[in-house]
Amino acid sequence: MTDFMPYIGTQEVDFSVSPGAPIILIEGENNRGKSSLFTAIRWCLYGRALDRSSKAVQDQFLLNDNAYDLGRDNFEVQLSFSNDDDNYLLTRTCSVKRDAKGKRSGSTVRTFLHRNRDAISTEDIPRYINEVLDESISMFFLADMEILKNYETLVEDDSKAAVEVKSAIEDILGIPSLISVRDALKEIVDDTYKEIQKKKKENSEKSELEQKIAEQTSKKSNAKSQYETASASMAEKKREHEELTSKLAKIADATELIEREKTLIEKNENDLKSIDKLRKEIQVALHESWWAPVSTQVELKEKQTRDQTKLASQRHQSLSEKKFKLTSLENSLVTNKCSECQQDLPIASREETKSAIEDLRSEIIEMSKPLIPSLESLVDESRRLSLFSMPRKAEVIRSLERQIRILQNDAPKRRQEIKEISIALQGVNKDEIKNLEIQRQNKDREIGMVGVIIRSESTKLANAEKELTVLNRKYLDAPKSAGDMEISTEMAIASSLQEIMEDTVARFRIEMKKTVEKNATEIFAFLGSENVFKKLQINENYGLRLVDNKGQVFDHKSAGTAQVIAISLILALAKSAARSNALVLDTPFARLDETHRDNVLKLLSRDSKQSILLIQSAEKISKEIEPEFRKHVSRTYKISMGADPKESTIALKKQV
Amino acid sequence: MSSESMGLPLEKAQEAAIKSLSSKKEDASETAKPYLDQEMLIGLIDIASQSKFDDSPLVMKQKIRKLIKSRIRKED
C-alpha cells in the first residue's frame, strides 16, 4: 500500500504462511494503524472503508495527510492472493481532487484485476472478487470484533442486516449450492414440460404430414397407373397406325392412281360446268349484240378504207414518177437531148418521145381522177356505222369462245388418262383402300387423344413427385419421436428429484446448524474456563445463545462473553464452511482476559489454515503458551510511528 | 488468502440427500422410481459442490440434464 491512511510511502506486508505455522501476527499500539491495515484489505477488495462506528469513509480522506500536504494526490492498495489454484493481483488506486482552497473535494478510483496474468474487465471485477470472498460473508473472515460483538442481537430480527447475516451464514455453509440445484431441477421440469408440449404439437404436425404424404403417394400411384395405361394404349395405337400405314404403303401406287383419277374426274366435271357457264354467258352476249351485222359492215368499211388508202398512196407514188418522167421527156424534146445519156435525139426518138409524152399525160390525167369511193366517203361512212356497232361485246364473245375452246382442248386428254387409269385399276378394291385410309385417320385422332392423356398424367405424376419430395424433406426434418418418451421420463425424474432436493435442503440446513452449534459449543468450551454453561444453542435465525447446565437459556451481559461467542461462531463457521478462507481478525482480544486470549491463540495455532491477527502490543501473550505459540507464527510485524505522529510504518519484527 | 476446497461439506449433503431419497421415493412417480437412487443423488450433490461462479444457471441445468439423460439411456 502507498500513502494509505497513516502509512506514508509504500509499505509491504507478506501474509503467506508456512506449513504448521498458520499465524501472521501484527502488533501495534492503539491508533497506530492496525485497523487501517484491516481497512486497506477491505477497501482493496470491495472499495469501501468503514470507521470505528461502522460508517463509510469517503475515499479522498483515505489519503495520508502528510502525503497530501506534500502535494501527492494518489494512494493505492495492491493485494496478491490465490483461490482455487488461480492467482490474483488486485490493485485499487485513488486520485484525490483538490479544490481552489487546496481542500480535498472528491476522488476518482480505478481498479485493476489480473487472474493468472489475464486482465479482467472492470465491470467483471466485483463478480470475481465476490466469488473469492463474497462481501456479504466477509464479516466472518475479515472480522472486526467491534462490529461482531453484538452478533447475537444482530440476527434476532428480520431487518435487512439480519437477513444479510443469515444469508451470509448459509452461504458459508454451502446451502445455496443445493438450493441452486433444486431451482435448476424446477426449471428442468418447466423446460421439459414445454418441450413435451412442443413435441405434441410437432407430432400433430407430423401426423398431418404423414396424411399428406399418403394422399400424394396415392395421387402419384394413380397418375402412374393412368400414365402406364395410356402409354400402353399409345404403343398399341401406334403399332396399329404403323400397320395401317404399312398396308397403305403397299397399295400406294393404286392409291395414287385413285387419287389421280379422282382429281381428273373432278377436273372434267369442273370444266364441263365451266363450259356450260361460258356458253350461257355467250348466249347473253349474243342477245345483247343483235346489231352484229352493222359491226361487220363497219369492219368492211374499215377494210375498204385501208385498201383505198393503200391504193391512193400507190397512185400518188406512181403519179409522181410519171410526172417526173413526163417532165424529163418534155425537157428532152426542148433540148433535143436524151434525158438519160444527154446525146442528141434522133428524129425517130423525138417522135417516140412525143408519143410517150402523150401517153404519160393521158395516164396522169387518168390517175389524177378521184378514187371511187373516195377515202373521205369511206371514213365518213365507217364513222357513221360505228355509231351503231358494239365491237366490245364481240370481243367478249370471242374471249368466251376462246375459253371454251381451251377447256375443250384439255378434255380429250383427261378422258384418255381416265380411261387408262380405269384399265390400270381393274381388280383393285377401292372401298378397302378408302376404309384403310379412314381407319388411319381415326387412329391419328386416337393417338392425339391418348397423347393428351399421357401429357396430363405425366404432369400429375411430376407434380405428385415434387410435392412428395417437399413433404418427405419436411417429414425428415421434423423432430424424431424417439425422444418423446425420454423427455417425459426426464421430466418425471426431474420432478421427483426436485421434491427430494427440497427435502434435502431442509435436512442439510438442519444438519449444518447442528454442526455449527456443535463446533461453536466445542470452541466456546475450549476458549472458556467456566463449567456453568452446557452449550451454545443455535436457533432458526442462526442466533447463538448460551444454555446453562440446567438447560436454561442464559442471558449474559458480559461484553467479553459476547466476544467469545462471536469468536466461537467465526471459528465454527470457518470449520464448517463449504470453503476455507483466510481469517483476518482485528483486535480479537480487546475484551478478553488472559485465559481466553491464550485459548484463542492455541485454537488458531491448532485449527486455522491462515490467520492474520491484528493485536495490541500491550496484549502480552502469556509466557506459558508463548514458546509453543511462536512455533505456529510464520511472521510477526510491528506497526510503529514514523517521523511524524501522522505517519506509521510497518516492518518485520525481529524474533527475540 | 487461499481456499482448499470448493462446494458444500460433501458428506453431510450426501447424507441429507440419501435420507430425503428414502423418505420421498415412495411418493415419486412410477416412471421416475427406477432412476431415483443413491447414484443419481450423489451425482446431483457433485454438481452442486463443483458449481463455480463462472457457471450460469444454464450450465448447471445442462449438467443435471446430462446426468439424467445418461441414466435413462443406461437403464434403457
Statement: residue A356 has pLDDT above 70: yes
**Which among A133, A184, A500 has CB closest to B17?**
A500
Q: Does A580 touch chain B (CB under 8 A)?
A: yes
ipTM value, please give it: 0.92
Statement: residue A497 has pLDDT above 90: yes
**Which among A15, A133, A499 has CB closest to B24?**
A499
**Which among B12, B60, B65 has CB closest to A508?**
B12
Statement: residue A102 has pLDDT above 80: yes
Write out chain A residues lying below 8 Å of B58, CB-based. Answer: none
Q: What is the Rg, in whole angstroms, of the alpha carbon atoms belonging to chain A?
A: 73
Residue of B nearest to A15 (CA): B1
Residue B6 pLDDT level (bands cut at 50, 70, 90): very low
- Between chains, do B31 and A488 touch, taking CB under 8 Å as contact? yes
**Average pLDDT for chain B:** 82
CB A303 within 8 A of CB A310: no
Q: Does A190 touch chain B (CB under 8 A)?
A: no
Angle between helices A252-288 and A175-250 (to 10 degrees): 70
User: What is the distance in angstroms between the Cα of B43 and the nearest Cα belonging to chain A?
Assistant: 11
- Beta-carbon contacts below 8 Å between A and B: 163
CB A306 within 8 A of CB A380: no
Measured in residues, chain B has a length of: 76
Statement: residue A154 has pLDDT above 80: no
Angle between helices A292-335 and A375-386 (to 10 degrees): 170
Residue A574 pLDDT level (bands cut at 50, 70, 90): confident
Write out chain A residues lying below 8 Å of B52, CB-based. Answer: 84, 131
Contacts of A624 (CB under 8 A, 6+ apart): A598
Average pLDDT over residues A155-170: 73
Residue of B nearest to A510 (CA): B16
The 3-state DSSP class for residue A99 equals coil
Average pLDDT over residues A596-604: 88
Taking the C-alpha atoms of residue A333 and residue A350, their distance in angstroms, rounded to an integer, is 7
DSSP string, A156-171: SS-SHHHHHHHHHHHH
Check residue A565 and give its pLDDT: 83
Pairwise pLDDT comparison (A43 vs A130), residue with the higher score: A43
- Between chains, do B13 and A15 touch, taking CB under 8 Å as contact? no
Check residue B4 and give its pLDDT: 32
The rounded percent of chain A whose pLDDT value lies above 70 is 92
* Other residues' Cβ atoms within 10 Å of the Cβ of residue B38: 12
User: What is the distance in angstroms between the Cα of B9 and the nearest Cα belonging to chain A?
Assistant: 5
Measured in degrees and rounded to the nearest 5, phi and psi for residue A545 equal -125, 150
User: What is the distance in angstroms between the Cα of B58 and the nearest Cα belonging to chain A?
Assistant: 8
Statement: residue A440 has pLDDT above 60: yes
CB A375 within 8 A of CB A312: yes
Q: Does A582 touch chain B (CB under 8 A)?
A: yes
Residue of A nearest to B21 (CA): A500
Side by side, the strands of the sheet bearing A553-554 are A533-538, A544-548, A553-554
**Which among B44, B57, B60 has CB closest to A501?**
B44
Average pLDDT over residues A5-26: 92
pLDDT by residue (tens digit) across A517-566? 888 888 888 887 666 677 888 877 777 778 887 778 777 667 778 788 88
Q: Does A18 touch chain B (CB under 8 A)?
A: no
pTM of the model: 0.57
Residue of A nearest to B34 (CA): A493
Taking the C-alpha atoms of residue A284 and residue A525, their distance in angstroms, rounded to an integer, is 161
Statement: residue A481 has pLDDT above 70: no
Average pLDDT over residues A392-416: 83
Instruction: Give the angle subtended at the CA of A585 by the CAs of A584 and A586, to the nearest 5°.
Output: 115
Check residue B73 and give its pLDDT: 86
Check residue A637 and give its pLDDT: 94
- Between chains, do B8 and A178 touch, taking CB under 8 Å as contact? yes
pLDDT by residue (tens digit) across A301-353? 878 888 888 888 888 888 888 888 888 888 888 888 777 777 777 777 788 88
**Average pLDDT for chain A:** 84
DSSP string, B16-67: HHHHHHHHHGGGS-TTTGGG-SHHHHHHHHHHHHH--TT--HHHHHHHHHHH
The rounded percent of chain B whose pLDDT value lies above 90 is 39
Torsion of CA A543, A544, A546, A549, to 10 degrees: 110
pLDDT by residue (tens digit) across A54-81? 788 999 999 999 999 999 999 999 999 9
Q: DSSP secondary-structure letter at A62?
A: G
Statement: residue A371 has pLDDT above 60: yes
Taking the C-alpha atoms of residue A25 and residue A341, their distance in angstroms, rounded to an integer, is 189
Check residue A97 and give its pLDDT: 95
Closest CA to A225 of A52, A454, A63: A454
Burial class of residue A155 (count of CB atoms within 10 Å of its CB; 0-12, 13-18, 19+)? buried
User: What is the distance in angstroms between the Cα of B55 and the nearest Cα belonging to chain A?
Assistant: 11
Check residue A557 and give its pLDDT: 65
Give A313-321's long-range contacts (Cβ < 8 A, gap of 24+).
A315/A367, A315/A371, A318/A367, A319/A364, A319/A367, A319/A368
Taking the C-alpha atoms of residue A594 and residue A140, their distance in angstroms, rounded to an integer, is 23
Check residue A72 and give its pLDDT: 94
Give me the residues of B, 3-42, that contact A with CB < 8 A.
Answer: 3-9, 12-13, 15-17, 19-21, 23-25, 27-29, 31-33, 35-36, 40-41
- Between chains, do A512 and B69 touch, taking CB under 8 Å as contact? no
Pairwise pLDDT comparison (A52 vs A566), residue with the higher score: A566
Average pLDDT over residues A455-480: 83
Write out chain A residues lying below 8 Å of B69, CB-based. Answer: 486, 490
pLDDT by residue (tens digit) across A185-241? 999 999 988 988 888 888 888 888 889 989 988 988 998 999 999 999 999 988 988
* Other residues' Cβ atoms within 10 Å of the Cβ of residue A387: 8
